[in-house]
Structures are given as structure tokens and as C-alpha cells.
Amino acid sequence: MNHEHYQQLASQFIDHELDAPSERELFLHLSSCAECRDFLRASWELQTEILGGKPKRDVEVERRVSREPKGRVYPLWVTRISIPLPAAASIVFLLIVGSLLFSPLILQEEKPRPEIKIEQALPIPPELQKALQLYK
């Protein structure tokens, strides 16, 4: 990364010689570069000591320079999830074995059950026959 270019922009910013697009470029770089933030802060403090007072942009610059960069917030479907390789291999193995074990149970067709004729059944005791006839 070309830090000299951004340090030159920082010096121009302190001297109020920087146009708006270059200022945006500088602060975009400062949001991700601690070295250039420290350079701007040190240069700002040096100018303050030399001039014996605070420059007019002090509050705005301190707010923008001291702010740590914010990480980008991505939606869940864009967020990259990292899983250790052994864990991922275990998950894949379990999915394959589980599908091999349970797919025959899910895909098997239901076989018709043979009907048992009354003649084939065990003889019903007479007390139970009387009770069944009451419910007919």
C-alpha cells in the first residue's frame, strides 16, 4: 500500500489544502490503516504544539481519526461459515450413512396384509361369543 501518498494527503488536510474527493479518499483509507491514522494524529498534535492553539477543525478531525474502523456487516446468506475439516467430514459421513440406512424404510412400498378368515382363527370361547353377539 502506498502510505506516502496518504501521508501527503493527511498533510494537505491539516493545512486546509485538500478538496472534498481527496478528503473522502483519505478518510476511507484511514478507516482501514492504523499506520496512517497514527501519522495524521501525530501531525495534528505537532501542528497544535507549533501554533500554540487548537486548529479550527480539531473536534471533527479527532472524531474521525480516533474512530476505529467498523467491520462490514454482511447478511447471513453472504456470511462465510468456516467449519474445521474433521467436523465437516463427520457431518457428510453421517448424512450419507443416515440416508443409506433410512432410505429403504422411506421408499419401501407398503405390502398388503393378508386377511385372516374366521375359520383360520383360533376358536373363540363361548363366553366371548355371547358377549360379541350382544354388540351386533
| pLDDT by 10s per residue, the chain, length 136 | 577 888 888 888 887 788 888 888 888 888 888 888 888 888 878 877 777 665 555 556 666 655 555 556 666 666 677 889 999 999 999 999 988 888 777 777 777 777 767 666 667 778 887 777 766 5
pLDDT score of 70: 57
What's the CA angle centered on 104, arms 115 and 116, to 5 degrees?
A: 5
Q: Residue 107 has which C-alpha cell?
A: 421408499
Output 84-93 pairs: Cβ under 8 A, ≥24 positions apart: none
